[in-house]
Structure 1
Amino acid sequence: MEIAILPFSFPEYLELHPGDNERRFSEYLRFGALPEVDPSRGEEFCRAQLTGIFNTVLVDDVLARLGTGDANTLRAIARFLYSNIGNITNTDMIAKAIGIGPVTVNRYVGKLEEAFLFRRAERYDIIGKRILKTNAKFYASDLGLRNAALIGAEGTDISRPLENTVYLELLRRGYTVHVGSYRDREIDFTAMRNGRVEYYQVCLSMMPQEARERELRPLSSVGDNFPKTILTLDRLGLGTENGIEIVNVMDWLIGADDPGTF
């Protein structure tokens, strides 16, 4: 029997590294949640440690599974996927970007998934209630490894890492998670558990009116009565709007919005 274990949840991270929640959350997004990575030892030490772990997994685990393969090509594919977490991706896109054949891409990506560096979220047709086989999104199993692999190119935008964090937390809570597709609109996550469906959007802020309308629109268009939630870093403007819950993402991760979660 295989039991999949994810890196620390945010409450587990806070238990190991107590302190100001917002500062710790920033570290959580930057250094990831592997137990041995201690943010108190400084950024340089954590980066070096994460780079070592990433290289070890890539060479000793993934290349070993491949039997034969090119480490540079494998690293390039991993960096492409890390750069595009939360974006719709397919084999042809990766093959074109890297300059290799789609068969090789499929083989390498499969082994990266087997090594648990990445997790695939397939698209789900909400109306047709079926998995869409074309295109998918990939998420990093640990954001610290992502930032180590992309060092110098990871950027400062935290919207994708935030979405990645929510995806992993939904898995941790026992949901099967897909990217929702409703007509021509996308819902970040359609989460299913025990016959129950929940819909989630993730955004940095709902304060700009255009952002509020953009995030509410896809959820409002879904006509069923399953729970719909928008997770944001905002502390103001929370509550319920047209049946859609707007919740602070750190409170949600800690379980403050749902005392029965943990």
Structure 2
Amino acid sequence: MVERRIYSALEAHLNRKQVTVITGMRRVGKSTALRHLLSKIPHSNTLYLDFERIENRILFNQNSYNDIERGLVSLGLSLDRPAVVALDEIQLVPNSPSVIKSLYDTYGIKFLVTGSSSFYLRNHFAESLAGRKQIFEMSPLDFEEFVRFKNGDTTLLQTGRMQPFLFPFYDKWKGYYEEYLRFGGFPEVVLADDEAAKTDYLKDVLNAYIELDVRLLSDFSVSDTLYKLIAMLSSRVGSRIDYSKLSSLVGLNRNKLKDYLHLLEYTYFIQTTTPFTSGLDKELSKQPKLYFADTGLLQTIGQVSGGQVFENAIANQLARLGKVQYYQRTTGTEIDFVLNRQTAIEVKETCTPHDLMTVNERAKSINLTESWLAGRFQPASGFEQFVWGGSIF
């Protein structure tokens, strides 16, 4: 098994009494992480329950806590000594937080749990377990993890991290990065043997998300409207969300449309970037931009340009490094990304000296201390003053 970057933080939390909460989109590896953590427990008094199985949901849905305790004991858990219980996809059992709280307070059980909805875990779950939990967010593989899953040497990859373009480095890793852009970072997809299998896995991820997460986490009916909205969003990657136009095209009122978009974001299907303001500008765009959680998933849904795919990938890569925003005046002046309120980043498939001059000038005009270009391809001109996409992690 290839270990994820997040595993070290999760393992460090094993020694704390707090509930360890792993959240993220379906199929990013949360269940594998649970089993990995269980393998690190120095005793055998452990129990794993998958709430996608109806018998496990029934156990935790009983009205009597005593009956739940008896059920756990019947499954082999001893309540008389230190115990660890792993619960997978807890959002499927709405009353699970209260059960966890009771067992946590009564027996001191260490809980490891996963869930696919940030809204549920950060709000409903937080109410019951305030001060008793720590949340860890898991995403699809970053590029370094992708290379590790492909048995590449990540020690060499690290030497070029966030460094200016260098042809030998680019030449060594460009094939991996193009595959990463095409098929994304879901572990099952990365490990699949051929392109047909990768495509099938991505379709399965999409169908499972809509049929399970949307059905179980909302009161929305799974209809052609939702599919139509997701397809329209894919063609608008990197663009500001025009709620009025989308409402008209999809046939939803504005409030219902926002509810759909919130659900997609809460369940990690999309992410949004908000406008950056320096405090000096009066005519900034107020609308967020949207990106999909995974470029493979994005391309499974719709036909998008290479530039959109690359910008979406950079948005996801930067999100792991800090707070990501964008800058755009109503006059048209824009910067693709502003990282941590201090670095301006312009994304171009093929970078030019003019692009660098432009982003530098725009960054200076709003008092940003740093600026650079993110590029995908080697420029024919020999220009090298940019950061190659594969080195951003």
Do structure 1's residue 176 and structure 2's residue 323 form an aligned pair?
yes
Do structure 1's residue 219 and structure 2's residue 366 form an aligned pair?
no
Gaps of 5+ in 1: 240-245, 254-262
- The structural deviation recorded for 1:125 is 2.1
Of residues 235, 238, 247, the one that matches 2:384 is 238
* Alignment match, 1:159: 307
Query: Separation in 2 of the partners of 1:57 and 1:24?
Result: 27
- Would the alpha carbon gap of residues 225 and 30 (structure 1) be closer, same or farther in structure 2, given more than 3 Å must change? closer
- The structural deviation recorded for 1:237 is 0.7
* Alignment match, 1:260: none
Do structure 1's residue 77 and structure 2's residue 229 form an aligned pair?
yes
**RMSD, aligned CA:** 2.4
Percentage of matched positions with identical amino acids = 19
Report if the CA contact (8 A) 2:344-2:359 is conserved. no
Which has the larger Rg?
A: 2
Query: Separation in 1 of the partners of 2:147 and 2:231?
Result: 29
SS at match of 2:373: strand
Of residues 343, 348, 354, the one that matches 1:198 is 343
- The structural deviation recorded for 1:77 is 1.1
* Alignment match, 1:91: 243
Gaps of 5+ in 2: 1-133, 153-171
Deviations 1:186-217 (A, max 9, x none): 1011111xxx611110101124xxxx435632
Do structure 1's residue 250 and structure 2's residue 390 form an aligned pair?
yes
The answer to which structure has the higher strand fraction is 1
Report if the CA contact (8 A) 1:6-1:172 is conserved. no
Of residues 175, 181, 202, the one that matches 1:50 is 202
1:226 corresponds to which letter in structure 2? Answer: T
Query: Separation in 1 of the partners of 2:369 and 2:270?
Result: 29
Query: Separation in 2 of the partners of 1:127 and 1:202?
Result: 24
1:229 corresponds to which letter in structure 2? Answer: W
- The structural deviation recorded for 1:129 is 7.7
Q: TM-score, normalised by structure 1?
A: 0.81
Query: Separation in 2 of the partners of 1:133 and 1:218?
Result: 18
* Alignment match, 2:260: 108
- Would the alpha carbon gap of residues 4 and 225 (structure 1) be closer, same or farther in structure 2, given more than 3 Å must change? same
Query: Separation in 2 of the partners of 1:183 and 1:215?
Result: 22
- Would the alpha carbon gap of residues 12 and 237 (structure 1) be closer, same or farther in structure 2, given more than 3 Å must change? same
Equivalent residue pairs, number: 235
Query: Separation in 2 of the partners of 1:63 and 1:219?
Result: 47
